[in-house]
Structure 1
């Protein structure tokens, strides 16, 4: 079984077909697509609200209108991936995390932000969530009757609320719950970069020298990979825009975190 997370930066920059053409039977594919959500919102006349957080990260605020566009766009991406896989003769099935209670999440009641005046404030969490559980038995059942499972980062709360969740969190939970040996994270650069050059390997021993050179989404990916390394799970952060991106990652291209 191969666990692959493909980021929106790959999907929005023409890498979708390259990933699809390299997916092998036995793959669980988790996708993002935040950049496409932003584009769709702007086309619909809805301005994305970007939040700054004390840890240096940024995120899109998910109010009710944003959630509607988010769900619509993520499921469009999901079905585009499935249709392209099916056209290759691959038995693919695509679901959101809300389907059959595949991914459960807890709504973030409060979010800490830095406002336009540079002050730290706490605001309502909207419709964003933190993944609490992935239904492993369901995943195994779906994989027994298909070649590839494609998962959208939409979760459901115990109260039945749809939530925007981070695809990296789903990948992390799946990797741990299913006991996989490795995870591939595909992004739009050649791995973790320092001064424009990819770092070949990151371990717990050199992580504190590498982390200060990373920001935003890449820092989150590296932190996720380091959590997995503590459980003996190897992560490869690699470029999804090159030909044969999954095979290239498995061959050692990109940044290996272990």
Structure 2
């Protein structure tokens, strides 16, 4: 992006504010930085890594942006309500909500500890629902909600049963929420990344597994957090406002 384009993007985003859950690391961090680059004030939500959140907030402020970090468990409705309260207190309202907080567990269905299943679904299903509730109540006209799924809902790789099931629920909510917000000029979409080079994705995988997954898309590489952040910025910006109720598989050409 040229300097002129960056200035134009900042002008378009001026006066707007975003809440990004899971905004301190991985894709969430990239989304926070990208939206701030586009001129939005950003509430960087995090679950427990205060240092990572502070680093993300500092990076935004050092670049001339506006940001605050707010700790909250996305599955806790009181904490999420307080998160949105803080956004309104700091920046006057909320125009963009990006729910990138998520939990991953890999295991064959037959072997998965059901306590792990409950933890995954608490964050990925209940957490999405709780954040979507607040977004539906508080987003200003012209706003956008973006949830996160996974391309594994389509590829159906073994060991992803619990994770894919939780993200299938997110996809089911998407068009329903878009229709429930009829007449308010608010879009609701879900981004479903393919293999993306984040700590969560890379953790526990051998170099051979990573190389194999990188070669799966026709573009023959892993996605980057910045690839996904650019998609989110498009969906939440004026150019993407006609896209509504959709699942966008940002995966380089996988199923």
Confirm or deny a common fold (TM above 0.5): no
Higher percent of residues as strand: 1
Point out which structure has higher relative CO (alpha carbons under 8 A, 6+ apart).
Answer: 1
Give the alignment's TM-score, normalised by structure 1. 0.32
